[in-house]
Amino acid sequence: MTAAATLAPAPRPAAALVARRARGRLVLLALALVALALIVVASLTLGVRDLDLGTVWQALTSPVPGDVDHDVVRDQRVPRTLIGLAAGAALGVAGTLIQGVTRNPIADPGLLGLNSGASLAVVIAVSLLGITSPLGFVWFAFAGAAAAALVVFSIGAGQPVKLALVGATVTALITPMITLVLLRDPTAFNLYRFWAVGSLTGRGMETLERLWPFVVVGVVLAFALARRLTMLSLGDDVARALGQSVGVTRGLTAAAIVLLAGTATALAGPIALVGLAVAHAARRLVGTDYRWIVPMTALLGPIMLLGADVIGRLVLPHSELEAGVVAAAIGAPVLIAVARGRTVAGV
């Protein structure tokens, strides 16, 4: 044995390297959880009426009847914060699942026609059926998004490029139909323009109480599919060689996407680019293993959506900018970067 060989460092065992990477990812997940907690606190305290933590805590634990600050916390900020948590997690995980199953770096619920399907259903509910309350037409939004997803995935199944083309086609077909109905019905137009911009306001706890189980089921299904999606990202042939049924994986993933994207759209309106942005951010942070990407996007999604909501409350004095507008402004640079070729590996 030569001196050089004697002095050479021993190779790091593979198990130790894997454990080190896992610890690093756990730290990142913990930091994301802390960031989410801070965003929740900001959502409860900041706005047109700034409140201190003591007032918020008292409003949550021992509210005083007739206290305006306590009413603001319990009746307005708590519902919009919880809706932001649910819708953000749903959008983040749905965006990750869509990119994983299509292997398309620009895939997003809004870019695959799901938002347009939900919008058409809401317009029909308002214009033809006379439904005017958010609690009434959320089911139509859910059904519309689900129908659009079924059409897109049934036609473009197994072909990532075709999925994007079908989604664009569905959006192109539905958009003029929506416009035609809105031009003929001013009442539908007034209700639709508020819902379509994407907002966490105007939805009460009743809406969340009816829809949160769909988010839970969708997220649980996404966690169960994480390992399958990691294998699928290596290619269909590799996944089959590893014993995976590619068709079953795509079918179950499509079901999870329908649940998550449909519920998020029903809760907060057609908010675009959240799923796209957080999916790419998660890959930058934790790599290409979906067992880590899915939980990270479940945290980054509400961080981005609630953060956009808080920013929207602060940028305009004595007024608010809807979360959908701010989220689009945040997500647009990500879409531009991806379009210019700065994609993340593993999609």
- pLDDT of 324: 86
Nearest CA among 128, 110, 126 for reference residue 175: 110
- pLDDT of 311: 92
- pLDDT of 160: 65
Would the pTM of this model clear 0.75, i.e. be above it?
yes
- pLDDT of 107: 76
- Overall residue count recorded for the chain in this entry: 347
Give the confidence band of 345 by pLDDT, cuts at 50, 70, 90: very low
Question: What is the sign of the dihedral through the CA atoms of 62, 67, 73 and 74?
Answer: positive
- pLDDT of 145: 82
CB 293 within 8 A of CB 283: yes
Dist. CA 182–CA 179, nearest whole Å:
5
SS (H, E, C) 177-211: HHHHHHHHCHHHHHHHHHHHCCCCCCCCHHHHHHH
- pLDDT of 341: 63
Nearest CA among 248, 271, 280 for reference residue 344: 280
For the chain, where do the domains classified as CATH 1.10.3470.10 start and end?
Answer: 81-339
Give residue-wise pLDDT tens across range 126-176.
Answer: 888 888 776 777 788 888 888 888 888 788 766 666 777 888 888 889 988
- pLDDT of 1: 47
CB 170 within 8 A of CB 119: no
SS3 (DSSP) at 110: coil
Give residue-wise pLDDT tens across range 181-239.
Answer: 888 888 778 777 777 778 888 777 888 888 889 999 999 999 999 999 988 887 777 77
- pLDDT of 182: 85
CB 56 within 8 A of CB 73: yes
Q: Quick check: 302 pLDDT over 60? A: yes
Superfamily of structural domain 81-339: ABC transporter involved in vitamin B12 uptake, BtuC (1.10.3470.10)
**Mean pLDDT confidence for 74-93:** 92
